[in-house]
Amino acid sequence: LSDGTKVYLNSASSLYYPTVFPPGERKVKLAGEAYFVVAKGERPFIVDTPLEEVKVFGTEFNVMAYEDEEELQTTLVKGSVGVLAKGMEFIGFQKIVPGEQFLLNRKTGKIEIVPVDVFPYVAWKDGYYQFHQQPLKEIVKKLSRYYGVRIYCKEPADKLSCSGKLDLKESLDEMMKALKEAAPIQIENKYESIEIKVKH
């Protein structure tokens, strides 16, 4: 960006920003997911999403605000950020420190700040997807978004969980092979979608 800030956009994401920031604040609008390396500056840097604002002064963090996800996640890697849930301005910006994640439930409006290992949440920026005991249906949702192909789990495959690390530079076929090694599943190509079932 014009102030030297670097932004990594994940798949199915959009960032709206001015070619040059006006005086006052540096503000961008995010739909989807992005990793920010914010250039230090006197003016605050604000990431605006439909349900929250994230305000920073020079830091590295990840914001995940896809519309089809139940929770919005702000994960702090370095520095300090404050997160403001829209409609809850009376609480004000809540600060998180490195290694913490601010969670906002889209349906209930519930807010939680939890300690996390940040790597699995930011590994996508370096071309990896790492997960630990994550529901298969969540893994499949991310791969579906990344590859732009409808992938879905049939019951009871949607109840399975698995752990692993996937290289996002691999083809979709390679990804499906890796998933078959991680879980007892079978995969069927159906028209323009992929169906995942429990292996019999």
pLDDT at 105: 94
pLDDT at 183: 84
Residue 196 has pLDDT above 90, yes or no: no
pLDDT grade, residue 95 (50/70/90)? very high
**Tokens at 98, concatenated:** 């490195």
Spatial separation of the C-alpha atoms in residues 13 and 105, rounded to whole Å: 20
Task: Tell me phi and psi for residue 32, to 5 degrees.
Answer: 110, -130
Span 145-159, mean pLDDT?
A: 88
Residue 197 has pLDDT above 90, yes or no: no
pLDDT grade, residue 52 (50/70/90)? very high
Angle between helices 172-182 and 136-147 (to 10 degrees): 170
Residues in the chain: 200
Spatial separation of the C-alpha atoms in residues 12 and 20, rounded to whole Å: 25
Are the beta carbons of 45 and 38 closer than 8 angstroms? yes
pLDDT at 126: 93
pTM (two decimals): 0.88
